[in-house]
Amino acid sequence: MCAAYPNLQDLWDLGPTAAQYDSMHLVLLNFVPHLWKLFAGLKLVNKTKDEEYIMPKATVALIGKELRGPRRTVPLAQDRSLRNIHVHHKSFKAVDWMHFLLCSGEVLLAGRVPGDYCNMFMTLSRADRLLFRRRGVTKADTWSIVKDVKYFVTRYYARIYGD
């Protein structure tokens, strides 16, 4: 990891608690799985209602099949990340959620979730693309990430958490 991310040498010198993977796991093992559960109706906001939250169950199943379909066409290193999300979402690891957030989620969710929720997801994807780059983050990138994260958090609390 140190060789792959030489621009983080100062953080490596500080020790493991300051390394980039902390923010990575915060996003990839908390926000993204939670959003998927909300989009897919696996975690209802109003627990008294027995209904789908954002996407119908048939759409969720179709997304899972579409994600699983191209598995034979990708290198083995990425193969695990292309599992049926409808079936395997509970066992997704950070790398699986990263693949969903940065590679396939935008395509699979476009037109299937309402505009405001889609914009939230796209904003989170854009911020994470900058945050998880191997070459590091510039000052301009930092301001862009802050802007996108503020947008995401504001919309998240207004549209999801506040409901």
Regarding predicted confidence, which is higher, 31 or 2? 31
Residue 62: CB atoms within 10 Å = 15
Unique residue bearing structure tokens 């780059």: 133
Cα dihedral 7, 76, 32, 16 sign: negative
Residue 98 lies in a domain: yes
| C-alpha pair distances (Å), 150 with each of 75, 78, 95, 144, 156 | 36, 31, 24, 10, 10
Regarding predicted confidence, which is higher, 10 or 136? 136
Residue 2 lies in a domain: no
Residue 119 tokens, joined: 């914009």
Residue 123 confidence (pLDDT): 93
Residue 14 lies in a domain: no
Range of the domain at 32: 20-161
| Radius of gyration, CA atoms only, the chain | 17
pLDDT in tens, 147-161: 998 998 888 888 776
Residue 66 lies in a domain: yes
- Judge whether residue 19 has pLDDT over 50: no
Number of domains in the chain: 1
Residue 99 lies in a domain: yes
Residue 1 lies in a domain: no
pTM: 0.71
Question: What mean pLDDT do residues 126-148 have?
Answer: 84
Residue 2 tokens, joined: 């140190």
Residue 10 lies in a domain: no
Residue 12, C-beta contacts closer than 8 angstroms, at least 6 positions apart = 2, 5, 19
Residue 154 lies in a domain: yes
